[in-house]
Structure formats: C-alpha cells, structure tokens
Amino acid sequence: MPQAQARAVLPVVLLGCGGVGRHLLRHIVSCRPLHANQGVAIRVVGVADSSSLLVADDVRASGLDDALLNDLCSAKSAGSPLSSLLARGHCQVFNKPEAMGKVIDAATMLGRTTGLVIVDCSATYDTVGVLKDAVDHGCCVVLANKKPLTCAYEDFKKLTSHFRQIRFESTVCTSY
Ligand SMILES: NC(=O)c1ccc[n+]([C@@H]2O[C@H](COP(=O)([O-])OP(=O)(O)OC[C@H]3O[C@@H](n4cnc5c(N)ncnc54)[C@H](OP(=O)(O)O)[C@@H]3O)[C@@H](O)[C@H]2O)c1
C-alpha cells in the first residue's frame, strides 16, 4: 500500500533514555502507522544520556532510523553506552561537555525552520541551560522531568516566557 505523505515532520531531541525516555522511543516507533494516518512524522534526530549524545549525521535531512532506536533502547537497558551504536552508521556520538553544545546547534538549525521539540526525560537540573537556549531558538520543550520548573525563579520565567512552547504535567499526592 502506498505510504501517505507526511504533512508535518516533527524533529525531536530526547534528553534522557532511562525508563521513561526508552518507553517514549518505543511508543514513537510503534505508533508510526497512527502518525502516518494523521499526516505526521516524528523524526528523532538525537538522544542524550548523562554522558553523551547520539545524533543523526544530518539533522536537517533525516533522523535516527527505527531499527537504531530499538537497538538504542536495548543497549541502554543492558547498560551499554550510546557509543556502542556508532558502528550502525548514519550517526555520530559526542561526549560531554560537547554534547549539549551539539543539542544547541540542532536547536539553532531547526528551531525557526522545521521546528524542533526538546523532550526532557532526564531526572536532573543539568538540562536547564540547554532548555533555556532551546526556547530562545524557537524550539518547543516538553518535560517529563519537573526539576527545570523548580529551579531559580528567573529560569522558570525564561522557560515559560512563551507558554505555547512548553508542555508539562505533574501529579501531586498528599498522604495524611
Ligand atoms: N518513572 C516514572 O514513572 C515517571 C513518571 C512521570 C515522570 N517521571 C519523570 O521522568 C523523568 C525520567 O524518569 P526515569 O524513571 O526514566 O529516570 P531514569 O531511569 O533515572 O532515567 C534518567 C535518564 O536521564 C539521563 N540523564 C541524566 N543526566 C542527564 C543529562 N544531564 N542530560 C541528558 N540525560 C541525562 C540518564 O542517563 P544515564 O542513562 O547515563 O544514567 C538516564 O538515561 C524523571 O524526571 C521523573 O521524575 C517519571
């Protein structure tokens, strides 16, 4: 059957590929037919963990392919580093501190052209700087990680300065 042409391509960079980040990646891959029906293609162009960033060779043209994303999930589950996927080709690995600079490069390239969504599934305050820069470059930010929202008030104001560009949810539980 001919594939429907995607009306919208949505490039994504994922920060954090622990339990939540991996589930998101698997969900994106398994929902491709649903996305296609909606005319949307989610293009995962980069995935970062605490020490490195795996990024597509040319983030303007393509993302990490689905087989690679599945292998990435398996590798991280097994405790292997992102660099173990380098042999697959069509991707590069940058280690800290260069890695976050490369996320900003992608944000600069894509934020005001195709658009770029930065999804924070880490569990750290360390992403605040890159998220603020991404918002400045016109990117959208989606947070599973709530720490960036509980940082300094100036940072919170910056992150939420364009409210259409940020999405988050949280659950509050009180026990007596
Ligand atoms: N688990 C849940 O049910 C749940 C539900 C809702 C929301 N959340 C929130 O979702 C977030 C992720 O939860 P999780 O259970 O997936 O946590 P997790 O398993 O601890 O995974 C955290 C991931 O973040 C990576 N990371 C750490 N510092 C980073 C940095 N500076 N840049 C990029 N990545 C970095 C870690 O890298 P390494 O792999 O190298 O350690 C790891 O891959 C948390 O903020 C949590 O509060 C969790």
**What is the total count of domains within the chain?**
1
2 within a domain of the structure (yes/no):
no
165 lines ligand 1 (CB under 6 A): no
48 lines ligand 1 (CB under 6 A): yes
State which residues form the domain around 42: 8-168
At 142-175, the pLDDT tens digits run 999 999 999 899 999 999 998 889 998 877 666 5
Q: Which of 88-92, 118-122, 127-131 has the lowest mean pLDDT?
A: 88-92
26 within a domain of the structure (yes/no):
yes
At 1-22, the pLDDT tens digits run 455 677 899 999 999 999 999 9
Report yes or no: 49 and 15 within 8 Å, Cβ to Cβ: no
Output the CA 4–ligand 1 centroid distance in Å: 34
At 53-106, the pLDDT tens digits run 999 999 999 999 999 999 999 999 999 999 999 998 899 999 999 999 999 999
Output the CA 76–ligand 1 centroid distance in Å: 12
160 within a domain of the structure (yes/no):
yes
159 within a domain of the structure (yes/no):
yes
Write down the pLDDT at residue 80: 97
135 within a domain of the structure (yes/no):
yes
Write down the pLDDT at residue 156: 94
145 lines ligand 1 (CB under 6 A): yes
124 lines ligand 1 (CB under 6 A): yes
The closest-lying atom of ligand 1 relative to the alpha carbon of residue 22 is 16
Write down the pLDDT at residue 162: 87
Give long-range contacts, CB 8 A cutoff, 24+ apart: 38-42: 39/4, 39/5, 39/6, 39/7, 39/8, 40/6, 40/7, 40/8, 40/9, 40/10, 41/6, 41/8, 41/9, 41/10, 42/10, 42/12
Residue 60 amino acid letter: R
Note if the bond before 97 is cis, omega within 30 degrees: yes
Residue of 86, 21, 91, 23 lying closest to 56 (CA atoms):
91
97 within a domain of the structure (yes/no):
yes
The CATH number of the domain where 155 resides is what? Answer: 3.40.50.720
Write down the pLDDT at residue 163: 83
Q: Is the per-residue pLDDT at 128 higher than 90?
A: yes
